[in-house]
Structure formats: C-alpha cells, structure tokens
Amino acid sequence: MTSESWLVPQSLKGGPILKHQKYWSTRNGHVRSGKTVAGSPEMTDSPTQRPQNSTKIPVEIVSEEEMALIEAAFSLATRSSVPPVSSAQFQRNARSIRSITLLSKRSFSRCSDAGVAGDIEDSCGDLGSTQKRNRVPQSLLHRFRARRGLSVTDITATEWCEKQMEFFLTIGKPKATKAMKAGSARHAVLEKEVVKREKLDVESVEDTWAIKIINFIVGAKQLLFDGLTRELPLIGFTDGVWMVGVIDEIRMVVTESKRNPTLVETKTRSKATLPSEPQQRNGRLQLMCYKYLWDSLLADKFPSRKFFDFFSLNPNRLLSQDIRDSTSKSGFPAETLDDLVRCLQNTCLMLPPTHEQLLLRYEFQEDHSLLREHQFAYDSDWIRDSIKRSLEFWRGEREPSCTSDEERWKCRFCQYASTCPMNGSAEGTPN
C-alpha cells in the first residue's frame, strides 16, 4: 500500500473535497503507483499443482516458417512416388531439421536474455531475416504511450521538434534545467493558492485512475462554485487516441447571458523579455489543445468501455477504503471505478464549452512580475491540422522531421545536438 498526496480546495462549497494531483503532472511525468492489481491473473489464478512423479516434457520453440519447412520435408518423404531415402540422405535431412530447431532456440534465447520488460514482441525483434522483412515496426505511440495515453505536452514537444521528441523517447529524458525547475516551483505556488495537499493510500491501478477522475470532478465543482480552479486534469478520447493534460488555470467568465470558462496558461521567463514567435506559437498550441480536448469531452459522451479496455482496468473492482470515504465526504459516493466514470459523465453535462478567447501569460521568474498577457482566438482548423500532423509522427506514418531552416537556432539549446544528424547546422537566433 502506498501513500500519495491529494489536493483539497481551499474554499469549495459543500464540505471538504479531496483532490490528488501528482498522477497527472505533465511536468513531472506520468506516475504509475500502487501494487499489482488485485484480481488480475497474476494475483488470483493459482498455479496448477504438478505431481512429484510427473514426467517433464521438453518444449521446442519453432517459428511458423520453420514448421512449414519441416512439414514440407515430411510430406515429400511420405509420397509414394518418391524412392526410399538412403541412410546418408536421411542423416543429412535430420541435420538440416536439427539446425532449424537450434536456430529457433538461439533466437528465443536472445529474446529471453534481453531482459526487456513488456510484451514478448517488444524484445524478440531478431527472430530471423525473413521475419524482419515482413514485420511492421511498432509505432512510437504503441511503444511508449500504450498504457498512459498521449499527453498535450507530447503534442507541443512534437511541434517544437519531432527529431528531438524521438530522441527523448529512445535515448532518455534530459536533465531538468534551472529554468524548468523554477517554472515548476512557480506553478506549485500558484496551485497552493487554491488547494492544499493531503495523503491517501493507493492500492491498485484502478485506484490511480480513480484519483485522476476525482481530480477532474473536484476541479469542475470548484470552477462552478468559486469561478476559479487550477491544475485541472483532463482525459478524453479524440482522433482515435486517448489524450490527457493538465490545465494551469480556468476562470469562469460571467456575462449577462453566458458563463464560459476561459483557459489560462502561465509561462515563466528567466529573462525579462518576451519569447520568440516559435515559443509563443507553441504556447498557443498548448492552450488550443486543452480547449480541443475539453470541448470534445463535453460534446461526446465519455466512452467508458473503450477506456476500461484500453487501459486494462476492472470497472467493478472495489476502490480502496480511503478513496471510498473521500468520495462520500465530497458528495459523490463511489464504490468502483465504473461509479466514478458515471459521475464524470454527469459532471460534463453541467459544464459549458470554453470561451473562444484563450489567455497566455508570461511572468519574470525573478520577481514574478507580469511581462505580458496575450489573448488570442481559438483556431479550430489550425489545431486539427496540428494534431493530425503530430499523430502521423506518433503512429509511424512518416519519418520524424527536423526543424525548419529559419528555426534551426533551436538546435543550439537541444541536449541531443551531438546525436542529431542536423548537428552543425544550428545557425541563426531566436526571432
């Protein structure tokens, strides 16, 4: 049993409501905590008891192609039109069959020795040259986001530089810079202005996802009651993929006839200057992704069956006692993950579409002074095209591209520059 921090709104009406943020932090990465899911085959299926005097039967691993060769050889040997096979010929054939099975054993051994966690297909990529030619390489989406969904940060990082994103996935995450740490610290301060952290025990993967859903429900209630919420987690199914994100801030703009939430993103700057146009474009993309995901969640009923199947969740598994107690105190008692998904769907029915105007804020890290507030209009065509292009990269439909010539200056700040084939072309300066 692990203990995780939750967030409690400072001024939410209707009694104390718990909210957990850590799991959804796109800045810290996806955290998958808790024990192995109780009720899974590994936990519930008892191994068959083997009698002490039973005979162990050796198992040979033979590929489909190798088996076809063996069957063809035996078929040829049993035909009536074929003359009897001599002893020498039979020995040669036997050696040939043995070499095939030995090759299969060596290939399978290499897979076992690889020590790579995950599906066996991920670690058995060298079962033979013919299989290499016929096998379709797995996409980055399947290899790295199959169990967690694609984040909005993944979309924006891809727009910044697809080649850099590929290196990030295949080589590893670079060390956080001083500016990145300062930005995370600032967001934590802003978060504490409206919520405080508490801890609850998490016992399963279902509990983890339950906390994410509770965070959304609690944040949505805080928005409706108080007109403001921060660090609101989102999850939705759009364009054939599951996407997640965390919105910095949402303000409820109230007019005489409408109530529309305005999405806000705060960026911190190490220098008291405004960012380059590519950096501002990347920030606009991030906010538009949030609106795109929000509006999709409200327009289309949350596909619960796809959600449970994709993330391999048991909708009827009993949630931990801590989580059940907290949902009861929060006003939406839930016993299972399926109960919480229904609460999520009902909450979405109460929320209005977000405002067409989005707000991007820039602060100076040293004293938190405001450098600029940039309000801009949502561009539905541009965001759809941007997401479509990003998904082409993630699905492996094309090779990753490098930055354009006019934005090659980005390479001077990239920690993968020494590995990138574009190394040596980092010219120009930020616009």
Give per-residue pLDDT as tens, 381-424. 999 999 999 999 999 999 999 999 999 999 999 999 999 988 75
Range of the domain at 76: 64-140
The Cα angle at residue 214 between residues 210 and 253, in degrees rounded to 5: 150
The Cα angle at residue 194 between residues 189 and 196, in degrees rounded to 5: 75
User: Do 158 and 122 sit in the same domain of this protein?
Assistant: no
User: Do 132 and 243 sit in the same domain of this protein?
Assistant: no
Over 80: is that where the pLDDT of 425 sits?
no
Residue 66 token pair: 């190798």
Burial class (CB in 10 A: 0-12, 13-18, 19+), 403: buried
| Ranges of H-type helices in 173-276 | 178-192, 205-226
Percentages of the chain per state (helix, strand, coil), in multiples of 5:
45, 15, 35
Asked whether residue 414 is domain-assigned, the answer is no
- Model confidence at 104, pLDDT cuts 50, 70, 90, reads very low
3-state secondary structure of 418: coil
Residue with the two structure tokens 């905590």: 33
Residue 199 token pair: 């801890």
Residue 251 contacts residue 227 (beta carbons within 8 Å): yes
Over 60: is that where the pLDDT of 376 sits?
yes
User: Do 187 and 252 sit in the same domain of this protein?
Assistant: yes
Quote the pLDDT of residue 171: 93
Quote the pLDDT of residue 201: 80
Select from 140, 157, 189 the last residue of a domain. Answer: 140
Residues 6 or more apart in contact with residue 237 via CB below 8 angstroms: 243, 296, 300, 302, 303, 306, 307
Quote the pLDDT of residue 185: 78
Quote the pLDDT of residue 70: 55
Residue pLDDT, tens place only, 69-79: 555 555 554 44
Quote the pLDDT of residue 200: 74
Considering 24-28, 187-191, 295-299, 335-339, the range whose residues carry the highest mean pLDDT is: 335-339
CA–CA dist 31, 282 (Å, integer): 25
Residues 6 or more apart in contact with residue 409 via CB below 8 angstroms: 426, 427, 428, 429, 430
Quick one: which of 387, 385, 379, 374 has its CA closest to 356? 379
User: Do 257 and 393 sit in the same domain of this protein?
Assistant: yes
CA–CA dist 216, 313 (Å, integer): 19
Residue 245 belongs to what H/E stretch?
A: strand 241-254
Count the domains in the chain.
Answer: 2
3-state secondary structure of 37: coil
Task: Tell me the average pLDDT across 155-180.
Answer: 89
pTM confidence score: 0.68
CA–CA dist 174, 241 (Å, integer): 26
* Residue 115 DSSP symbol: -
Asked whether residue 115 is domain-assigned, the answer is yes
User: Do 112 and 160 sit in the same domain of this protein?
Assistant: no
Residue 400 contacts residue 166 (beta carbons within 8 Å): yes
Residue 428 contacts residue 274 (beta carbons within 8 Å): no
First to last CA, the chain: 51
User: Do 88 and 209 sit in the same domain of this protein?
Assistant: no
Quick one: which of 244, 241, 236 has its CA closest to 295? 236
Over 80: is that where the pLDDT of 305 sits?
yes
Quote the pLDDT of residue 395: 96
Residue 154 contacts residue 145 (beta carbons within 8 Å): yes
Over 50: is that where the pLDDT of 187 sits?
yes
Quote the pLDDT of residue 226: 94
Name the residue with higher pLDDT: 146 or 60.
Answer: 146
Residue 206 token pair: 């279902």
User: Do 109 and 156 sit in the same domain of this protein?
Assistant: no
Over 50: is that where the pLDDT of 333 sits?
yes
User: Do 306 and 171 sit in the same domain of this protein?
Assistant: yes
Residue with the two structure tokens 């008892």: 46
What CATH code is carried by the domain that includes residue 251? 3.90.320
Name the residue with higher pLDDT: 4 or 129.
Answer: 4
Quote the pLDDT of residue 181: 75
Over 70: is that where the pLDDT of 373 sits?
yes
| Ranges of H-type helices in 45-128 | 64-78, 87-114, 120-123
Select from 140, 162, 190 the last residue of a domain. Answer: 140
Quick one: which of 354, 357, 352 has its CA closest to 374? 357
Over 60: is that where the pLDDT of 119 sits?
no
3-state secondary structure of 80: coil
Q: With the CA atoms of 278, 281, 282 and 288 taken in that order, what torsion angle do they form, in degrees rounded to the nearest 10?
A: -170
Over 80: is that where the pLDDT of 22 sits?
no
User: Do 126 and 224 sit in the same domain of this protein?
Assistant: no
User: Do 309 and 210 sit in the same domain of this protein?
Assistant: yes
Over 80: is that where the pLDDT of 140 sits?
yes
Name the residue with higher pLDDT: 131 or 202.
Answer: 202
Quote the pLDDT of residue 359: 98
User: Do 135 and 106 sit in the same domain of this protein?
Assistant: yes
Quote the pLDDT of residue 21: 36
User: Do 10 and 157 sit in the same domain of this protein?
Assistant: yes
Name the residue with higher pLDDT: 24 or 325.
Answer: 325
Over 90: is that where the pLDDT of 59 sits?
no
Instruction: Report the range of poorest mean pLDDT among 14-18, 76-80, 195-199, 300-304.
Output: 14-18
